[in-house]
């Protein structure tokens, strides 16, 4: 059964759909290109309140190709819920004619560090991190950092962290308790400071190139859900994603910068 999602999900998926072909074009000369979906889901989504089924991130990545025909050589889909993983396998039976995709049952904090060690360190690997809770742990991000990875991350501030500020998961998510002082601060910009801490931590792992516009995703009623954070180790990736973020969204509206980050030291 397709996963029920809000209309705002379309905008997030369109960013992925627009960026992946450019990523594939930029990595055409590599021996192989790999896509990892850390929280894959069932493969199909149904928009709430509408009789409309749309492709989820696994199918978007499976269909992605550069203008020269380059596609992902391998796609790895991690899903913790066994029933959902089985549903995704069923979808792939008809969608993945070339059998490039593999579904892995299990927790991302165990499976992603294990999977990454089986990949060549120089294989360009795009990792989509789109959790429903306060995941993954920082140690998981550290584990994949030595590889040639690029990340698009759902930073779950509104829908998860704000609701669970006393949870030990928050410290595990940041990999430090420095977030607590920022959380307890009453000064304006607490949200931006927490997000900036996370991005600075990513920069310390080598992900020095990021967009200044971290896409803020809201419900149709305007409630803040999460930010989309993009990080890479190469400058051209930042330029490409910056261009994607200026394109019209899923409703045809021109995207305007919703939030501006502090500069990260790229030295």
Asked whether the predicted pLDDT for residue 251 surpasses 60, the reply is no
Residue 99's domain is classified under what CATH number? 3.40.50.150
* Predicted confidence (pLDDT) per residue in 187-246, tens digit: 678 888 999 999 999 999 999 999 988 888 887 788 888 899 999 999 999 999 999 998
Distance CA(252)–CA(262), nearest Å, equals 29
Q: What is the 3-state secondary structure (H, E, C) of 137-166?
A: CHHHHHHHCCCCEEEEEEECCCCCHHHCCC
Q: What is the mean pLDDT of residues 171-180?
A: 94
CA nearest neighbour of 130 among 54, 254, 35: 35
Distance CA(39)–CA(87), nearest Å, equals 14
pLDDT at 37: 98
pLDDT at 74: 98
* Predicted confidence (pLDDT) per residue in 131-162, tens digit: 988 999 999 999 999 999 999 999 988 667 87
Any domain includes 257: no
Any domain includes 263: no
Q: For the chain, how many structural domains are there in total?
A: 1
CA nearest neighbour of 134 among 174, 177, 86: 174
Any domain includes 267: no
Q: Cβ distance 227 to 157 under 8 Å?
A: yes
- The residue behind tokens 């971290």 is 214
Asked whether the predicted pLDDT for residue 182 surpasses 50, the reply is yes
* Predicted confidence (pLDDT) per residue in 95-126, tens digit: 999 999 999 999 999 999 999 999 999 999 99
Query: Cα dist. 221→12, 217, 248 in Å?
Result: 17, 11, 20
Q: Compare 238 and 11 and report the one with higher pLDDT.
A: 238
Asked whether the predicted pLDDT for residue 53 surpasses 70, the reply is yes
Any domain includes 79: yes
Percentage with pLDDT > 90 across the chain: 69
Task: Calculate the average pLDDT of the chain.
Answer: 89
Query: Domain span at residue 194?
Result: 3-245
Any domain includes 118: yes
Strands 74-79 and 53-55: unpaired
Q: Compare 9 and 164 and report the one with higher pLDDT.
A: 9
Asked whether the predicted pLDDT for residue 68 surpasses 50, the reply is yes
Any domain includes 253: no
Any domain includes 262: no
Any domain includes 250: no
Q: What is the mean pLDDT of residues 71-81?
A: 98
pLDDT at 187: 67
């Amino acid at each position: 059964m397709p996963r029920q999602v809000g209309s705002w999900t379309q905008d997030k998926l369109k960013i992925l759909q627009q960026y992946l072909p450019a990523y594939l074009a930029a990595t055409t000369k590599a021996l192989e290109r790999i896509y990892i979906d850390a929280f894959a889901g069932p493969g199909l989504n149904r928009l709430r309140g509408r009789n409309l089924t749309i492709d989820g991130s696994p199918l978007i990545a499976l269909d992605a190709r550069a203008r020269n025909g380059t596609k992902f050589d391998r796609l790895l889909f991690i899903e913790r819920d066994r029933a959902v993983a089985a549903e995704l396998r069923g979808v792939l039976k008809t969608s993945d004619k070339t059998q490039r995709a593999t579904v892995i049952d299990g927790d991302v904090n165990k499976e992603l560090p294990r999977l990454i060690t089986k990949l060549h360190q120089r294989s360009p690997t795009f990792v989509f991190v789109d959790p429903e809770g306060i995941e993954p742990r920082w140690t998981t991000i550290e584990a994949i950092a030595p590889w040639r990875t690029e990340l698009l991350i759902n930073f779950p501030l509104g829908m998860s962290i704000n609701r669970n500020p006393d949870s030990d998961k928050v410290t595990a998510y940041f990999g430090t308790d420095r977030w607590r002082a920022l959380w307890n601060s009453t000064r304006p910009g607490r949200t931006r400071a927490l997000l900036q801490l996370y991005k600075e931590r990513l920069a310390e792992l080598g992900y020095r190139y990021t967009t200044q516009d971290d896409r803020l995703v809201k419900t149709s009623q305007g409630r803040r859900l999460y930010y989309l954070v993009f990080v890479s180790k190469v400058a051209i990736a930042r330029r490409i994603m910056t261009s994607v973020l200026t394109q019209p969204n899923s409703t045809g509206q021109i995207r305007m910068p919703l939030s501006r980050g502090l500069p990260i030291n790229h030295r």
